[in-house]
Structure 1
Amino acid sequence: MRAATRTATAAVIVLLAGTVGPGPAMAAPADSRQLAYRTAAGDFDVPESVLLAVSYLQSRWDTNAGTPSTVGGYGPMHLTDVQSTTARPDGPAAADPRGDAARPALVPAPAPRTTATQSLDRAAALTGLDPQALRTDPTANIRGGAALLARYQRELGAPLSTDPADWYGAVARYPGVGEADGAFADEVYAVLAEGVTRTTDDGHPLRLAATRVEPHRSPTRPRSDGVECPVTLSCEWIPAPYQQTGPAPNNYGNHDLSDRPARQKIEYIVIHDTETSYDDTIRLVQDPTYVSWNYTIRSADGHTAQHVKAKDAAWHAGNWYVNAKAIGIEHEGYAAQGTWFTEAMYRSSAKLVRYLALRNGIPLDRTHIIGHDNVPGTLPTTVRGMHWDPGPYWDWNHYFDLLHAPLAVPVVPRGGTVVIDPDLRTNKPRFTGCDTDGTCPARGSSAVVLHSAPSDTAPLVKDLGLHPDGTPSTMDISDHGARASAGQRFAVADRRGDWTAIWYLGQVAWFRNPRSAPTATPSFGLVVTPKPGRATVPVYGRAYPEQAAYPEGVPYQAVTPLQYTFSAGERYTVGNLLPSEYYRATTFAGTSPGDWTVIRGATRYVQIQFGHRIMFVNRDDVLILPS
């Protein structure tokens, strides 16, 4: 079709579609969005199935009300315009990612923020459409994506074929991240083979029929030797440096050597976001004076880099007990920006986590697959400085569906516990503080808000770690003191009409849970309560051994209670039964007494869901009961 005709057609379709903004979506014919894909595919000579599959991998076909992704991508085709986005750090600079009080605090400088590919500008040039329309109008955005695919196909010298098998190279280039190794395209063709039927976030039913296509693949980059990734994942080895940074034996970075799981069982996989671009993240993890994590996943295409082998302990979670028993995965994005994560990144992350969980015997549940925001502070003084990524917009339900381990499966009609399970399409708490004007978009969230009474006007519950003055929690995006997240399981304290109460940080916390639109699923499991005669029991942020377990010459790491109160009559769900352990690693060559050994004690701990973060209680202080 001639360019002039295409532009005229685009103008008509854009006028018919209207602009999708932050308000509620207007009613539309059931097939109007499907027609937009079909029309754009025809106008730019791109197979409709390819256009739909690429779009699904970028956004799951959602519009996100015209707001950007974590890397500045807009609309169902994820056209990137990072110049128009802003970012706010996910936590205070005082947080120590290593989280080991036996060593001086490690306080890395805030990560810089750089820009990435501006595919939206190129789409505007190719289509003649206004950049603002490409950001906010789904029909224009789809046309921009189709135009980009067609241009990539031409640049490769390939025909504008009707056969989806001929489009592998253009699909591989679509994320716009430089060298394309084919993994993104492989995932697109996997979506083609699976087929998808889904209703978008603005109410449009879309369907991609399952079609098995054997694409004409181009040569791919060889895998790095020894990289710990599934074979279907685009993955490379970019090592974090283990080297001395000064004359003293404890001046080194940026992780610790170990021999897991032979030395110590890996219990957790911690989900982070980067708070900077993928490129800057890679530069930072290669700095021996910075900190480390095991993997980084790129937003645009899900490409993954491994930095620290699973056997070694990276410095990422702010809690040394967790770091020593965890694998940390960074995802390119910004927790505080109120933005969304791409489907390509979700799918790559789920592949990686499932692979790591199977290799290391880690259960696929929210007790073991946790966010950085679920890691407890080690001491009362460190609670307030803990980071809270990946934030309330991370879609835990969808993530666990991709892990083939759905979070909320009803087992009883009315159990003594509940699994938090809000519908992301309708659960849109109005958080604040995402932008310079103090607002956040009305975006679907995996978190429910907790009140001190069964009323929307009641104050939020308190978190003494975040608000030592005893004031209630707030709706600020960084204040997780009154939130329960999808997949977390809590003991029920009460029920009144459409409201359910749970035990949370030593309080009764209420959230809306109407039968007509439930935000939690009844469940059954084990809970803990103080033993008879105990008015309160202490709650800890790390499960360290008793003093008698430490060998001579190794300083005792005190098991210090946190500032919270767990009183008689309260109940909290059991996540795990754990031995007391402390991995001693304080010098570069392992020359300090006890270095590179795990100190184990007789004390046993129970991991509990005490608030938004997991915490620990001494097994001898509590009764374990069925809920």
Structure 2
Amino acid sequence: MRPALVLATVTGLVLGVTTAASAEPADLSRQRAFSAAAAEFGVPESVLLGVSYLESRWDANAGTPSTSAGYGPMHLTDVRTANAGGTHHDDGTEDPRGDEARPPRLPKPGPVDEQLQKLLTVHDAAALTGVSTEKLRTDTAQNIRGGAALLAKYQRDIGIVSDNPADWYGAVARYAGAGDTGSAATFADEVYATINTGAERLTDDGQRVRLPATTVQPNKQLLGELGLRNSTSDNTECPRTLACEWIPAPYQELPDNDYGNHDKANRPESQEIKYIVIHDTEGQWDGVLKMVQDPAYVSWQYSLRSADGHVAQHVKAKDVAWQAGNWYVNAKSIGLEHEGFAKLGTWYTEAMYRSSAKLVRYLAAKYRIPLDRAHIIGHDNVPGTIPATVRGMHWDPGPYWDWAHYFDLLGAPLRPTGNLGLVTIKPDFATNKPAFIGCVTPGEPCPPRGSTSVILHTEPRADAPLLKDAGLRPDGSPGTMEISDHSSRVETGQQFAVAEVRGDWTAIWYLGQKGWFHNPRKAPNALGATGLVVTPKKGKATVQVYGRAYPEAAAYPSHIPAQAVTPLQYTFSAGERYSLGQVLPSEYYWATTFDAANHTVVRGKTKYLQIQFGHRIMFVNADDVDVLPSFWR
């Protein structure tokens, strides 16, 4: 043996390492875990990687469960441990209908969810691998082994022995846990689409994983081996590539001249649909479906299931659902409820993101709704109607909904458009982990998790106080890091006018204040943008901001009471600038009786401008402001 080779061998032994080990970086350990598990259980590696991508995008999610009680990259479910509970939007006092012309329709406790008892795949994986359920939940390599063992079992149950990925369609379809052929096929089709296009990313815990593009034509006839029911309905308003079931919300008369749980209308002929509102359910699937079928409760147009992205439609787009807590927004929007828990910090599956994006693309094209954050909004972006309702408005889908990824799936990625007076908020989701508190236990830190939220400060330094929100914190105290407190928080995709720049810090106008956020060039939290901004007309010290764009009193016919045009408790002062979202007509939909023949759209002459005034959108009278290019000073 030559001296150099002897020296290299001895050095390796002394250091306790081998040449092979040193050549494999630690950030490839998850890639190796997929390869090893695929080989051990005889699963095509592309199939294992594709299934995991549709469940978790290969993320570990800090060991916390998804909304459907799934853990780890393979989304092994253990509902007894996750114990995700709650009722539909049980944090807040918002009246989902948001129309003061009628009595409030307040939240109620949800029914027990029977579906939860089926979410126990981690126990099946434990029996197949001999690994404890705790280790399968917390150890990513063992979690991947557990998922591979389940896929192999599903393939054996079908009775096909093959190493061809095309022959694993049935096992993949079963993995989602869907009870119907449409949802199982939608999940499997997305897995195989991912295999065909390939994927590569850095996970939330810094692991590099790659699925090379491989052309595969799956054997879809294997779906028939699963014995699933057919639930796809012909009368739903969904794209053809999406499994969609009709579970109608009841339009029904109730005692005391009341009715539920939505209003008949004739949109878009009677009113344009201007918004799509993204919610989370704060409840599990079966329980939420029971709520929307309660005539004495409230409604929304669509529900989306976490495990497999299955869609149920409840209210036709032409009708008005009681979903967003603001009657003006309700009358001009479509509401999508996603199975999830904003406060618990649970994560949303890729299967649900993809179904939602397909549905929103379809609806946006049909109703000519622009794919931007002025029109595709969260429930947390809907303003209170009057000062008294601001504090009780809901804040879902919360800071863990990945807006940047969602807009990528919508085919409208968030990109820079120039550095001309505006910024589009866009932190790196995986590494941006604000120190929120109160997800599970009041005052206790939340698990560190990627977020779309960026925190604002009163000065350009990290230890400066947060901003104040007169509506959320009327005592004048600054905002907090409580998970539900967005007093001083902006979200990915929102656009704000730049007020000042100092080094690595950028200030934007926010609720009448300068809000500073860290925005270094090498790791920016926002993109440069250009557009239109709104500022008070010359000579006006302040202008009023509103939570709804209602007509002037003279527009109402004699039989319909004029609705108050009440300003909110915020101040929009001269010199401040806010990004323009859209120009809106002043309208009020009078719909207080079961007989839809009495429903009337009242239209005024007043024009309103939608602005990004804070975390929530708000409205100003067009006559009070000037609209300028963002670069104009």
* Same fold, TM-score > 0.5, yes or no: yes
Q: Distance in 2 between matches of 1:160 and 1:266?
A: 51
Q: Which residue number corresponds to residue 111 of structure 1?
A: 110
In 1, are the aligned partners of 2:265 and 2:596 still within 8 Å (CA)?
Answer: no
Q: Which residue number corresponds to residue 151 of structure 2?
A: 149
Judge which range, 617-626 or 207-216, deviates more.
Answer: 207-216
Question: 3-state DSSP class of the match of 1:617?
Answer: strand
- Which of 305, 318, 323 aligns to 2:312? It is 305
Q: Shift of the alpha carbon at 1:435?
A: 1.3
Q: Does 1:535 align with 2:532?
A: no
Question: 3-state DSSP class of the match of 2:336?
Answer: strand
- Which of 72, 79, 83 aligns to 1:82? It is 79
In 1, are the aligned partners of 2:70 and 2:78 still within 8 Å (CA)?
Answer: yes
Q: Does 1:320 align with 2:327?
A: yes
Q: Shift of the alpha carbon at 1:276?
A: 0.6
Q: 1:50/1:364 Cα in 2 relative to 1: closer, same or farther (>3 Å)?
A: same
In 2, are the aligned partners of 1:46 and 1:160 still within 8 Å (CA)?
Answer: no
Q: 1:238/1:88 Cα in 2 relative to 1: closer, same or farther (>3 Å)?
A: closer
Q: Distance in 2 between matches of 1:358 and 1:376?
A: 25
- Which of 512, 515, 519 aligns to 2:518? It is 512
Q: Shift of the alpha carbon at 1:225?
A: 2.1
- 1:192-218 alpha-carbon deviations (Å, 9 max, x no partner): 111111122222221112122222223
Judge which range, 206-215 or 49-58, deviates more.
Answer: 206-215
Judge which range, 315-324 or 176-185, deviates more.
Answer: 176-185
Map 1:82-101 → 2, pairs under 5 A: 82-85=79-82, 86-87=84-85, 90=89, 92-101=91-100
What amino acid does structure 1 have at the position aligned with 2:125? A
In 1, are the aligned partners of 2:204 and 2:450 still within 8 Å (CA)?
Answer: no
Q: Shift of the alpha carbon at 1:439?
A: 2.0
Q: Shift of the alpha carbon at 1:222?
A: 6.4
- 1:415-442 alpha-carbon deviations (Å, 9 max, x no partner): 2110001001211001000012622011
Q: Which residue number corresponds to residue 241 of structure 1?
A: 250
- Which of 417, 420, 426 aligns to 1:421? It is 426
Q: Which residue number corresponds to residue 206 of structure 1?
A: 209
Q: Does 1:566 align with 2:572?
A: yes
Q: Shift of the alpha carbon at 1:111?
A: 2.7
Question: 3-state DSSP class of the match of 1:382?
Answer: helix
Q: Which residue number corresponds to residue 40 of structure 1?
A: 37
Q: Shift of the alpha carbon at 1:180?
A: 4.1
Judge which range, 80-89 or 162-171, deviates more.
Answer: 80-89
Q: 1:166/1:291 Cα in 2 relative to 1: closer, same or farther (>3 Å)?
A: same
- Can you give the 5+ residue segments of structure 1 that lack an aligned partner in the other structure? 1-15, 17-26
Q: Does 1:63 align with 2:60?
A: yes
Q: Shift of the alpha carbon at 1:30?
A: 4.6
Q: Shift of the alpha carbon at 1:309?
A: 0.6
- Which of 370, 377, 397 aligns to 2:404? It is 397
In 2, are the aligned partners of 1:450 and 1:483 still within 8 Å (CA)?
Answer: yes
- 1:523-545 alpha-carbon deviations (Å, 9 max, x no partner): 11111111111111100000000
Question: 3-state DSSP class of the match of 2:47?
Answer: helix
Q: Which residue number corresponds to residue 73 of structure 1?
A: 70
More helix by share: 2
What TM-score, normalized by structure 2, do the two folds share?
Answer: 0.92
- 1:223-278 alpha-carbon deviations (Å, 9 max, x no partner): 31221111111111111110112252xx1100000011111000000000000101
Q: Which residue number corresponds to residue 130 of structure 2?
A: 128
Question: 3-state DSSP class of the match of 2:80?
Answer: helix
Q: 1:179/1:226 Cα in 2 relative to 1: closer, same or farther (>3 Å)?
A: closer
Map 1:519-598 → 2, pairs under 5 A: 519-590=525-596, 595-598=598-601
Q: Which residue number corresponds to residue 51 of structure 1?
A: 48
Q: Does 1:612 align with 2:620?
A: no
In 2, are the aligned partners of 1:397 and 1:487 still within 8 Å (CA)?
Answer: yes
What amino acid does structure 2 have at the position aligned with 1:529? T
In 2, are the aligned partners of 1:294 and 1:328 still within 8 Å (CA)?
Answer: yes
- Can you give the 5+ residue segments of structure 2 that lack an aligned partner in the other structure? 1-16, 18-23
- 1:392-417 alpha-carbon deviations (Å, 9 max, x no partner): 0000000000001012x2222x3211
Question: 3-state DSSP class of the match of 2:51?
Answer: helix
Q: Which residue number corresponds to residue 361 of structure 2?
A: 354
- Which of 446, 462, 465 aligns to 2:452? It is 446
In 2, are the aligned partners of 1:93 and 1:107 still within 8 Å (CA)?
Answer: no
- Which of 332, 341, 349 aligns to 2:339? It is 332
Q: Distance in 2 between matches of 1:584 and 1:566?
A: 30
In 1, are the aligned partners of 2:180 and 2:230 still within 8 Å (CA)?
Answer: no
Q: Which residue number corresponds to residue 4 of structure 1?
A: none
Q: Which residue number corresponds to residue 139 of structure 1?
A: 141
Question: 3-state DSSP class of the match of 1:71?
Answer: coil
Q: Distance in 2 between matches of 1:450 and 1:110?
A: 35
Q: Shift of the alpha carbon at 1:88?
A: 6.2
Q: Shift of the alpha carbon at 1:553?
A: 1.2
- Which of 196, 200, 215 aligns to 2:199? It is 196
Q: Does 1:378 align with 2:381?
A: no
Question: 3-state DSSP class of the match of 1:582?
Answer: strand
Judge which range, 329-338 or 435-444, deviates more.
Answer: 435-444
Q: Shift of the alpha carbon at 1:135?
A: 1.1
- Which of 450, 459, 464 aligns to 1:458? It is 464
Q: Distance in 2 between matches of 1:233 and 1:130?
A: 36
Q: Distance in 2 between matches of 1:266 and 1:512?
A: 36
Q: Shift of the alpha carbon at 1:110?
A: 3.2
Q: Which residue number corresponds to residue 163 of structure 2?
A: 162
Identity among equivalent pairs (%): 64
Q: Does 1:603 align with 2:606?
A: yes
Judge which range, 376-385 or 431-440, deviates more.
Answer: 431-440
In 2, are the aligned partners of 1:319 and 1:375 still within 8 Å (CA)?
Answer: yes
Question: 3-state DSSP class of the match of 1:442?
Answer: coil
Q: Which residue number corresponds to residue 434 of structure 1?
A: 439
Q: Does 1:499 align with 2:498?
A: no
Q: Distance in 2 between matches of 1:179 and 1:577?
A: 43
Q: Distance in 1 between matches of 2:92 and 2:582?
A: 31
Q: Distance in 1 between matches of 2:232 and 2:289?
A: 18
What amino acid does structure 2 have at the position aligned with 1:557? Q
Q: Shift of the alpha carbon at 1:221?
A: 2.8
Q: Distance in 2 between matches of 1:106 and 1:124?
A: 46
Q: Distance in 1 between matches of 2:421 and 2:203?
A: 35
Q: Distance in 1 between matches of 2:432 and 2:422?
A: 21
What TM-score, normalized by structure 1, do the two folds share?
Answer: 0.93
Q: Distance in 2 between matches of 1:162 and 1:333?
A: 36
In 2, are the aligned partners of 1:451 and 1:511 still within 8 Å (CA)?
Answer: yes
- 1:114-141 alpha-carbon deviations (Å, 9 max, x no partner): 3241111111111111112111111000
Aligned length: 594
What amino acid does structure 1 have at the position aligned with 2:103? P
What amino acid does structure 2 have at the position aligned with 1:431? F
What amino acid does structure 1 have at the position aligned with 2:137? R
Q: Shift of the alpha carbon at 1:590?
A: 3.3
Map 1:253-272 → 2, pairs under 5 A: 253-272=260-279
